[in-house]
Amino acid sequence: QAVVAIGDKLLSLTADLIYRDLSESSVDATVHQIHKQMSIVSDLISPQAVDADTDLSMLDIVFATVFRPFALIAVGLNRDLFAGFPGLRGWASDLAKHETVRNAVPATYYRELHEFIACKDGYLANRLRVIPQDNIALAL
């Protein structure tokens, strides 16, 4: 339950990046908080490899949702949200490839997320507005 609560906190911090962080310094503070939460998760669990035949646990599903926007945010901010957390990076990558996770959102998810964030007023939105969709698609 504690790790799921951290997932909720990470989702809230992601929302801060999208809606509330208007400056690079506020983004820096939020990314620092994300890294603190990721450090706690990394200390508490050792994610197991997830392959196509693996049934996803509740924790897998929670963190698949948490990690999904990180790729676009990383491109927009030119920052690696998984820096220093190779185990979490591998887990996120495995989860993203799992059929259940892939089918949970439309194939146009990143394009739609880009459009959604780019129409906001924050620092991330300003950054994403200047990155063409094609460049983002290549980076993901």
In a domain, 16, yes or no: yes
Provide the mean pLDDT of the chain: 92
In a domain, 128, yes or no: no
In a domain, 126, yes or no: no
Q: What is the DSSP secondary-structure string of 37-102?
A: HHHHHHHH--PPP--TTPPPPHHHHHHHHHHTTHHHHHHHHT--TTTT-HHHHHHHHHHHHSHHHH
Q: Which stretch of 18-22, 28-32, 72-76, 135-139 has the lowest confidence by average pLDDT?
A: 135-139
Work out the average pLDDT over 4-28: 97
In a domain, 59, yes or no: yes
Which pair of structure tokens corresponds to residue 105? 């959102």
Q: What is the CATH number of the domain that holds 97?
A: 1.20.1050
Work out the average pLDDT over 41-45: 93
In a domain, 17, yes or no: yes
Instruction: Provide the residue range defining the domain that includes 56.
Output: 2-71+79-105
Looking at the 3D structure of the chain, how many domains does it have? Answer: 1
Q: What pLDDT does residue 46 have?
A: 83
In a domain, 46, yes or no: yes
Q: Which stretch of 8-22, 42-56, 67-81, 90-104 has the lowest confidence by average pLDDT?
A: 42-56
In a domain, 10, yes or no: yes
